[in-house]
Amino acid sequence: MYKLRPYQTEAVQSAVDHFRHQRSPAVIVLPTGAGKSLVIAELARIAKGRVLVLAHVKELVEQNYGKYISYDLSAGIYSAGLDRKDSAEKVIFGSIQSVARAKREFFAAFSLLIIDECHRVSLAEDTQYAQVIRILRAANPKLCILGLTATPYRLGLGWIYQYHHRGMIRTEQERFFKKCVYELSLATMINQGYLTQPIKIDAPVACYDFSQLKLSGAQGSFALAEVEKVLKDQSRVTPVIVENIIDMARDRQGVMIFTSSVRHAEEIFKLLPQEMSAVVVGETEGSQRDAIIHRFKQRELKFLVNVSVLTTGFDAPHVDVIAVLRPTESVSLYQQIVGRGLRLSPGKEDCLILDYTGQGHDLFRPEIEDSRPCAEAQIVIVPCPLCNYDNEFWGLVDDEGEIVEHFGRKCKGATECLETFKVERCSYFFRSKLCPHCDTENDIAARVCSGCNEMLVDPDKSLREAMSLKDAHVMRPDFMELHPRIDRRQQEFLEIRYYDCDGNHLKEFHYLNGKASIRAFNYGFLRMHLRRPEAAPEIAGVDDVISAQHLLRLPMFIIARKKKQFWEIREKVFL
Ligand SMILES: [Zn+2]
Ligand SMILES: [Zn+2]
């Protein structure tokens, strides 16, 4: 019998606990190399009812099945590609394509459905997964559905589940999977010695410039023709890159090179030492491919060039250099590519990740929701003043590592009710816009008020409008000044001036002489301008604002409208 690693036991236990109380589909996130086929095997073994394990390629079906029977357990296979259509066993490993075509009788009495690489499952009703799930649920309304993946997000969709067991909302949009019940991070796997340490080198010498590439199509991927054009325009870069790979890999065991196209692969292959290199592309014939992979694993070949064929299921643990020469539009593809080099192998200390794409993907903190607002931004931890949840937001830090500004809007903390299992999101907004009709706080980008459904002002739209109006002025401020002033009735007020690079200025005024005016100032000015809205200073008068001015940020744009003789600030747009 097998022995599970501690985290594998935890993963199994989390799934069991979840389905003990509810039937909403759940996800377990385990990085490549964490041994998810073992987790699947254990769940299938201990399940009381029948279990169906689905995967989208026959290699995965074979792998999961192989692991299971290696522990002297018996199971069936349902896959046309593997030439077997078993249906009587308690546990069946199937390929989705074949199972979707199976007869109704096949689907009787399954109590647990496990989906491998589950980030491929969507809510759309016309997919094979949706079809199979519908039939299984019709046969057993209490069916438990568990997905496993290393990358719980999909291009164009974002997170594939809504709620994380550590108490955070990933998305408020509807998702097939409701909850991630267990997640082991790549960093933990590496720190605990289950995977090799990657050493990432961005653009070691020269790199391609893929920054002009645009995502296209429903899946939002790069068009091959566009990629080819970039490579053609930058063809002088390729020999420099290949020379660098050879140089960096001098004392290394196995090098995998990921290229953009067949033509690109062949171009690179020609530049490598022929006797120890080979190319595998989609069209490479099966037996020839097996022979190449065998020679690579035997270390007769050192350089293996491939075009996106060796990303799933390929396993050569000795690989200690990964060279990425193809633009990767999706984080999950990037992680799969790098994952090929992180397996442990005797004598291997680390794996070099040579990234020649200039795209700067972060292996440990993938950018799933919001893209980096500016080059200096990094992930900062901002605790919520209401629920204490530690939010990860893009932010700016000073030399000492102190947070000076962050770009977070709404707290991502959430709690699950222990009785109803309903997930309640924390209501705290770091930044918001108040609805002028009902005073409800809304996300800055919201078009419609969540409280009263009235239309809200869209800053982008007002910016566009202002650009085209004669009596409107759009300023890009350079700096601002705060001045205490006294009016004719000897009342003190605060004047704020915004200057552009030509020395022109726009100004606004605020009185701070009473509860109501201070409250208005807090809402109308401070909340928008504070670099860290949750750390608001106590304001009792004009002097307090002036001494706190280092805590304030400048707007990106200011929109002003002509009012009699002077320009009145109507709206400020922040990054
Ligand atoms: Zn909160
Ligand atoms: Zn409203």
Ligand 2 centroid to Cα of residue 270, in Å, is 64
**Whole-angstrom Cα distance, residue 452 to residue 446?**
13
Ligand 1 centroid to Cα of residue 509, in Å, is 33
453 within domain boundaries: no
Residue pair 305/278 in contact (Cβ under 8 Å)? The answer is: yes
Question: Would you call 34 helix, strand, or coil by DSSP?
Answer: coil
Q: Which of 190, 206, 223 is the last residue of a domain?
A: 190
Same domain membership, residue 200 and residue 180: no
In this predicted structure, what is the pLDDT of residue 368? 62
- What phi, psi does 448 have (nearest 5°)? -125, 140
Q: E strands, 184-229, where? A: 197-202
**Span 191-207, pLDDT tens digits:** 999 999 998 887 666 66
Same domain membership, residue 203 and residue 184: no
Ligand 1 centroid to Cα of residue 415, in Å, is 10
Ligand 2 centroid to Cα of residue 434, in Å, is 8
Same domain membership, residue 144 and residue 244: no
Classify strands 76-79 and 84-85 as parallel, antiparallel or unpaired.
antiparallel
Tracing tokens 């919520």 back to the chain, one arrives at: 384
Residue pair 27/147 in contact (Cβ under 8 Å)? The answer is: yes
Same domain membership, residue 543 and residue 523: yes
Any idea which ligand is nearest the CA of 413? Answer: 1
Question: 553 is in which domain, residue-wise?
Answer: 469-573
Same domain membership, residue 331 and residue 209: yes
CA atoms within 13 A on the CB side of 553: 21
- 318 — pLDDT class (breaks 50, 70, 90): very high
Same domain membership, residue 218 and residue 164: no
Any idea which ligand is nearest the CA of 534? Answer: 1
Q: What is the CATH number of the domain that holds 550?
A: 2.40.50
Any idea which ligand is nearest the CA of 168? Answer: 1
Buried b (16+ CB within 10 A) or exposed e, 452-470: eeeebeebeebbeebeeee
Concatenate the DSSP letters of all residues of 104-158 into one string: GGGGTTEEEEEEETGGG--S-TTSHHHHHHHHHHHH-TT-EEEEEES--EETTTE
Torsion, Cα 227 233 239 241, to 10 degrees, reads: -50
**Span 518-554, pLDDT tens digits:** 988 888 888 889 999 888 889 999 999 999 999 999 9
Same domain membership, residue 109 and residue 159: yes
Same domain membership, residue 341 and residue 203: yes
Ligand 1 centroid to Cα of residue 423, in Å, is 13
How long a stretch of residues is the chain? 575
Mean pLDDT (the chain, rounded)? 87
Question: How much is the pTM?
Answer: 0.77
Ligand 2 centroid to Cα of residue 454, in Å, is 6
pLDDT reading at 214 higher than 80: no
Same domain membership, residue 547 and residue 513: yes
Same domain membership, residue 344 and residue 258: yes
Any idea which ligand is nearest the CA of 410? Answer: 1
| Residue 116 CA: distances (Å) to CA of 59, 73, 372, 439 | 12, 20, 31, 46
Ligand 1 centroid to Cα of residue 548, in Å, is 25
Q: Which of 320, 355, 390 is the last residue of a domain?
A: 355
pLDDT reading at 130 higher than 80: yes
- 457 — pLDDT class (breaks 50, 70, 90): confident
169 within domain boundaries: yes
The number of distinct structural domains making up the chain is 4
The residues that bridge with 202 in the sheet, in sequence order, are 355
Same domain membership, residue 121 and residue 54: yes
Residue pair 493/485 in contact (Cβ under 8 Å)? The answer is: yes
Same domain membership, residue 248 and residue 134: no
Mean pLDDT of 351-360: 83
498 within domain boundaries: yes
